[in-house]
Amino acid sequence: MNEIDRIIDQITRAFAGEAWHGPALSETLHGLPAQQAAARPLPRAHSIWEIVLHLIATQTVLLRRLNGDFTELTPAEDWPTVGVTTETAWQRTLEMLREQELRFRSAVKEFPVKRLDMPLNPGGSSAYNNFQGHAQHMTYHAGQIALLRRAG
């Protein structure tokens, strides 16, 4: 197993399961209805839905970087507002999260091992830090989602 395979393994565990820390992101979202995803049980905290949209936004910026586009997210892009809060809209949001995650892992799989220590974008941190940071970011937000589910 090379370093890219180990990185993908950690990203997959953080997203899909068998993570060392506990429930992965998709496990914390499993069976969650739209009404609860849109709820704000802690008034000054983001909703679960907002967190998922934020995760999609960060997947987007990482995919951009891998494709040579170093445009940063605006604050509105980083934390998009939730529009319609129907069950259909929630399922579409979850599907977008899954599809983007698969695209991201596929792009990482093709990334040259010899470039892992090089900045992913000019003046930025290494590709390795971006990829591992993605797994850490999902883990952080999975914990928030688990707490918000309990609070709701």
Residue 20: predicted pLDDT: 81
Q: Residues 93-114: what's their mean pLDDT? A: 97
Instruction: Report whether pLDDT(21) > 90.
Output: no
Instruction: Report whether pLDDT(34) > 80.
Output: yes
- For domain 3-151, give the fold: Four Helix Bundle (Hemerythrin (Met), subunit A) (1.20.120)
The ranges assigned to domains in the chain are: 3-151
- Return d(Cα 88, Cα 79) in angstroms, integer: 21
- Return d(Cα 16, Cα 28) in angstroms, integer: 10
In this prediction the pTM is 0.95
Instruction: Report whether pLDDT(41) > 90.
Output: yes
DSSP codes of every residue in 21-71: SSS-HHHHHTT--HHHHH--SSTTSPPHHHHHHHHHHHHHHHHHHHTT--P
